């Protein structure tokens, strides 16, 4: 791809100030997109955007805590006023509350997990991206090739979680995994609803990535972890929709 591939495209990445989100922003900017960093901390967003602007990229930031409905409305108004369309929405913000450090041995607490952990996890990983997507969909419909990317996880694959021979069978972080299974259901259902439009909706697994969430023992760096999100954001017209992507391959639901 050339640096002008995404010229004229407007992209929003939630949780865009660090981790996989920041590298996704950087990768889209390098491809020529106008990038909007969705930042829970407005000053961290402004700082990240300024650092990208210094390198010559068209970077902006907007304050969004994905759990705050007013922020969704404010983001809608901002994008409508500034760009009047949204080509790429990457629902990247996510949390893992089941245990502090995923690099340590994972304890299966499915029988005892407190309901507040389940609810808080679902608020951020499931309800928030759905509500944000619904709010921004009118702007995505203004794009001639809208791309919605739900950042999921291989840990949400029921096919793999149910298979004792699978490499993720031992990683039963129940609240997190279930929230990613649920967002995968949204991907499948929304992609079907939008199948006669130019909008593609896919889930992605970034890989196991060294971030605050992924832990120190992970095998990929953040830039490598951003690659599947960028791939799903830049799919051509004949690319997949309603798929669960890891790199250019698909994962089982
Ligand atoms: N790392 C991995 O190995 C891995 C594997 C599979 C899937 N994933 C997924 O990849 C995505 C990015 O994770 P990461 O590894 O880059 O994690 P990370 O470094 O911990 O970053 C998480 C990002 O989400 C943001 N965030 C959390 N709650 C938010 C909220 N309520 N509103 C707005 N932003 C919020 C954080 O913002 P603050 O800076 O404000 O906290 C941060 O920018 C997540 O959806 C995660 O589930 C990661």
Separation CA 1–CA 66 (nearest Å): 31
Higher-pLDDT residue of 2 and 238 is 238
Q: Which of 12, 15, 96 to mutate to test the pocket of ligand 1 (most atoms within 8 A of CB)?
A: 15
Q: Region 73-94: what's the mean pLDDT? A: 98
Please tell me the least confidently modeled range out of 30-34, 97-101, 219-223, 233-237. 97-101
Residue 156 CB less than 6 A away from ligand 1: no
Confidence at residue 4, expressed as pLDDT on a 0 to 100 scale: 55
Confidence at residue 174, expressed as pLDDT on a 0 to 100 scale: 98
- CATH match of 10-250 with 3.40.640.10: no
Residue 211 CB less than 6 A away from ligand 1: yes
Residue carrying structure tokens 């149910």: 162
Residue 86 CB less than 6 A away from ligand 1: no
Contact 102, 161 (CB under 8 A): no
Confidence at residue 1, expressed as pLDDT on a 0 to 100 scale: 43
Separation CA 99–CA 43 (nearest Å): 28
What are the pLDDT digits (tens) for 93-152?
A: 999 999 988 888 999 999 999 999 999 999 999 999 999 999 999 999 999 999 999 999
No. of helices (H) and no. of strands (E), the chain: 8, 8
Residue 179 CB less than 6 A away from ligand 1: no
Instruction: Using the predicted structure, report yes or no on whether residue 52 has a pLDDT greater than 90.
Output: yes
Instruction: Using the predicted structure, report yes or no on whether residue 222 has a pLDDT greater than 90.
Output: yes
How many CB atoms sit inside 10 A of residue 209's CB?
20
Which residues belong to the active site? 169
What is the position in ligand 1's atom list of the atom closest to the CA of 208? 3
Query: Left if phi > 0, otherwise alpha if psi is -120 to 50, otherwise beta: which for 211?
Result: beta
Q: Region 73-81: what's the mean pLDDT? A: 98
Contact 88, 82 (CB under 8 A): no
Confidence at residue 5, expressed as pLDDT on a 0 to 100 scale: 87
144, burial (CB in 10 Å: exposed 0-12, middle 13-18, buried 19+): exposed
| Å from CA of 151 to ligand 1 middle | 9
CA atoms 94, 100, 101, 104: torsion sign: negative
Residue 241 CB less than 6 A away from ligand 1: no
DSSP-derived secondary structure for 193-231: HTTTSS-EEEEE---SB-STTT-TT-SB-HHHHHHHHHH
90, burial (CB in 10 Å: exposed 0-12, middle 13-18, buried 19+): buried
227, burial (CB in 10 Å: exposed 0-12, middle 13-18, buried 19+): buried
Would you give the DSSP letter of residue 150? E
Q: Which of 13, 25, 40 to mutate to test the pocket of ligand 1 (most atoms within 8 A of CB)?
A: 40
Domain residue ranges in the chain: 10-250
Average model confidence (pLDDT) across the chain: 97
Query: Left if phi > 0, otherwise alpha if psi is -120 to 50, otherwise beta: which for 247?
Result: left
How many CB atoms sit inside 10 A of residue 219's CB?
10
What is the position in ligand 1's atom list of the atom closest to the CA of 125? 45
Of the chain, the percentage scoring pLDDT greater than 90 comes to 96
* pTM for the structure as a whole: 0.98
Q: Region 28-41: what's the mean pLDDT? A: 98
């Amino acid at each position: 791809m050339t640096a002008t591939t995404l010229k004229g495209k407007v992209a929003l990445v939630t949780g865009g100030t660090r981790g996989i989100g920041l590298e996704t922003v950087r990768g889209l900017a390098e491809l020529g997109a106008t990038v909007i960093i969705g930042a829970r901390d407005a000053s961290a967003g402004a700082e990240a955007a300024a650092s990208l602007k210094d390198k010559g990229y068209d970077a902006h930031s907007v304050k969004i805590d994905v759990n705050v409905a007013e922020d969704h409305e404010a983001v809608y108004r901002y994008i409508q006023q500034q760009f009047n369309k949204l080509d790429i929405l990457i629902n990247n913000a996510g949390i893992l509350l089941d245990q502090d450090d995923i690099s340590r041995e994972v304890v299966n607490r499915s029988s005892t997990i407190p309901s507040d952990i389940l609810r808080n996890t679902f608020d951020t990983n499931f309800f928030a991206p759905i509500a944000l997507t619904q709010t921004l969909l009118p702007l995505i419909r203004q794009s001639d090739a809208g791309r919605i990317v739900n950042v999921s996880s291989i840990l949400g694959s029921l096919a793999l979680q149910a298979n004792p021979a699978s490499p993720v069978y031992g990683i039963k972080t129940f609240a997190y995994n279930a929230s990613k299974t649920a967002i995968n259901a949204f991907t499948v259902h929304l992609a079907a609803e939008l199948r006669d439009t130019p909008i593609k909706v896919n889930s992605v697994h970034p890989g196991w990535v060294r971030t605050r969430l992924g832990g120190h023992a992970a095998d990929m760096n953040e830039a490598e972890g951003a690659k599947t999100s960028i791939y799903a954001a830049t799919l051509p017209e004949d690319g997949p929709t309603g798929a669960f992507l890891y790199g250019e391959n698909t994962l089982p639901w």
